[in-house]
Amino acid sequence: MTTAHERIGAHDAAGSTSTTRIVLAALRGARSDLADAWHAPLVRQGFVAMLLIALGAFSPAFVAADAPLYDGPFFSHMTSEPARFTATALLLVGLLRLLDVWLRLRPAPGRPTAPVAAWAWWSLPIACVPPLFSRDAYSYAAQGLVVSRGMDPYRTGPIAVPGAFADQVDPLWLYTAAPYGPLALQVQRLVVDLTGGHALLAAIAMRIPALVALGVIAYALPRLAQRMGVSRDQAVWLGVLNPLVLMHLVGGMHNDAMMIALVVVGLLLAADGRWVAGAIAVAAGAGFKQTAVLALVGVAGLAYRHARGLAGEGALRSGVDEPAYARIAVKVGLVALAAFTVLTALTGLGWGWIANLGVPGSVLSLLAPVSMLAAGVSFLLTQLGVPGEWTAGVVPATQAVGMVGVLIGLVWITWVLAPRRPVAAAAAAMLVFTFGGPTVYPWYVLWGVVLLGATATHRRLVAAVCVAAGWLIAYSMLDLSVVNGAGMLGIAAVAWGALNLWRRRAELAAPMAAVVPGDTEEFDGDVRRTLAGLLSRG
């Protein structure tokens, strides 16, 4: 006859063994996935493309010309004209090659894309290089130091920590307080503390949360796509292996990576009927970047459809019980608000970010259609001799009209699209807010584009995403070329890339891959069965 202590010990041993089996199975699966991915020729070509980008990453295009990095004997030559030209050539060839590989990996009937683990191989070459295509990571490091020293990041900018940290920050943001959510700032503080206060190392280490985030996206997005009746190949190709993802979420290590990862997790949880956990996940995403709240329309729609016994996404003309949907939407909103309030209290940083929401929009963004239109109209009126006091109001007035259009679009998305096509609604809300807002940076586009990978997307929209990706890559190529003093080389590379896209125009508009089962279902089933066994022993 066994004693209570013996039974508890046996129970713990069984639980430990089962947990170990899960971990070992996951590790074996990851190793197998990495090996399978490496055997794909296009994955190896993408790796080489990223390696070229990594070799050019230490040029002044990404590192300030007066950075201490250039004081050492190894990197001191990188500021010379031949070195800058060579680095620019490496970066341009790498970007063009990466875009070409990605387009060739486009899934089609009978032709799957690369294994999802390809993202790890493509991320490896740039894992330890300086921040790419943006200097925001230097601001993150300085803000983390501000928090670490007990100052309020919502009231003071990086200038509050003069020295190596502040010297790295773009002068444009040196005096601006942080607009980010409290979770982002606490993660930045943690990274700064763990790197021992080394300014450059802290900035590079901001890539660790970004890599974790992309790993989460790579896990969750194909599963969300399958729940929506969409091929996992589409999710992997459009939302994980997208060059913009590698360039800006991994290379630029923006807070947007964690935000997008938590949004995808939240939608996946809601698709499985766990809408409370989904709303909490989205609220956590808002703790990194507040635009995550737009994805709550998707959580509400998925919760409604699960409650009605509806799987996946439906037709736009399908009926909706509007009062029932409204009640669920309110509950989702209240849970998210409560979760965000608790998370904010736990961080101890408060709500100061509200006053700083306009910081990103303080710079006129020519990538934003509304601001581009306004700037063009203002310039034209000035050339026609219209007084400056009249033209001064063109930009803010046009931006205000754009935001009204955004609000109208969000109402339609919330009330019409979300209860019928929830993931499409979350993607649409992100994209409408991005392109109707006053400021657009290349990584903003990923808020919605990643989610498009998990919803039925028309082939013409996919083609438009490819063209947009090409345009944004061209923008980055021109920017880095000008900074490195090789503008003509950048123009030539952009022309070559545009010609390549034009030649592929028929291929870009071809039908996407059909819905196919993936290995995620088998692995999910194994995990669920093991977890069920653990719970049954309790």
| 308-352 residue pLDDT tens | 888 888 888 888 889 999 999 999 999 999 999 999 999 999 898
Neighbours of 315 (CB within 10 A): 8
Q: Please indicate, yes or no, if residue 16 is contained in any of the structural domains.
A: no
Virtual torsion, Cα 36, 41, 45, 48, nearest 10 deg: 60
Structure token digits, residue 310: 């509806």
Mark out the alpha helices in 348-458 (DSSP H runs): 369-383, 388-391, 394-412, 422-436, 446-452
141 shares a domain with 59: no
Q: Please indicate, yes or no, if residue 73 is contained in any of the structural domains.
A: yes
Give the model's pLDDT for residue 534: 38
Give the model's pLDDT for residue 10: 46
Q: Containing domain of residue 106, as a range? A: 23-130+464-513
Give the model's pLDDT for residue 170: 87
Give the model's pLDDT for residue 376: 85
141 shares a domain with 54: no
Cα–Cα distance for residue pair 133/141, rounded to 1 Å: 16
Q: Which residues are CB-contacts of 155 (< 8 A; sequence separation ≥ 6)?
A: 177, 352
Q: Please indicate, yes or no, if residue 187 is contained in any of the structural domains.
A: yes
314 shares a domain with 171: yes
Under 8 Å between Cβ of 57 and 137: no
Q: Please indicate, yes or no, if residue 54 is contained in any of the structural domains.
A: yes
Q: Please indicate, yes or no, if residue 351 is contained in any of the structural domains.
A: yes
489 shares a domain with 347: no
CA 432 to chain centre: 16
Which of 392-409 are b and which e, b meaning 16 or more Cβ less than 10 Å from the residue's Cβ? Answer: eebbeebbeebeeebeeb
Residues in the chain: 538
Largest Cα–Cα separation, the chain: 99
91 shares a domain with 187: no
Give the model's pLDDT for residue 387: 79
Give the model's pLDDT for residue 197: 83
116 shares a domain with 74: yes
345 shares a domain with 199: yes
200 shares a domain with 158: yes
Cα–Cα distance for residue pair 394/153, rounded to 1 Å: 33
Number of domains in the chain: 2
Angle at 476 between CA 91 and CA 47, to 5 degrees: 40
Structure token digits, residue 15: 């639980």
Give the model's pLDDT for residue 518: 41
Give the end of a domain, one of 346, 362, 378.
362
Q: Please indicate, yes or no, if residue 84 is contained in any of the structural domains.
A: yes
> In sequence order, what E strands does 159-263 have?
none
Q: What is the pTM of this model?
A: 0.88
Structure token digits, residue 321: 């019980």
Neighbours of 311 (CB within 10 A): 11
Q: Please indicate, yes or no, if residue 107 is contained in any of the structural domains.
A: yes
Give the end of a domain, one of 306, 333, 362.
362
Give the end of a domain, one of 326, 346, 362.
362
Paired strand residues for 108:
111
Give the model's pLDDT for residue 383: 82
> Identity (one letter) of the amino acid at 126?
I
Give the model's pLDDT for residue 320: 85
Q: Please indicate, yes or no, if residue 250 is contained in any of the structural domains.
A: yes
Phi-psi region of 405 (alpha: psi -120 to 50; beta: other; left: phi over 0): alpha
Under 8 Å between Cβ of 86 and 128: no
Give the model's pLDDT for residue 361: 66
pLDDT tens-digit profile, the chain (538 residues): 455 444 444 444 445 566 676 666 666 667 778 888 898 999 999 999 999 999 999 988 888 767 777 777 777 777 788 889 999 999 999 999 999 999 999 998 888 898 999 999 999 999 999 999 999 999 999 999 999 999 999 999 899 999 889 988 988 888 889 999 999 999 999 999 999 888 999 999 999 999 999 999 999 999 999 999 999 999 999 999 999 999 999 999 999 999 999 999 999 999 999 999 999 999 999 999 999 999 999 999 999 999 988 888 888 888 888 999 999 999 999 999 999 999 999 999 989 888 888 777 667 777 888 888 888 888 888 888 877 777 778 888 888 898 999 999 999 999 999 999 999 999 999 999 999 988 899 999 999 999 999 998 888 899 999 999 999 999 999 999 999 999 999 999 999 999 988 888 888 877 776 554 444 444 344 434 433 443 344 3
160 shares a domain with 232: yes
101 shares a domain with 213: no
222 shares a domain with 141: yes
Neighbours of 321 (CB within 10 A): 13
279 shares a domain with 171: yes
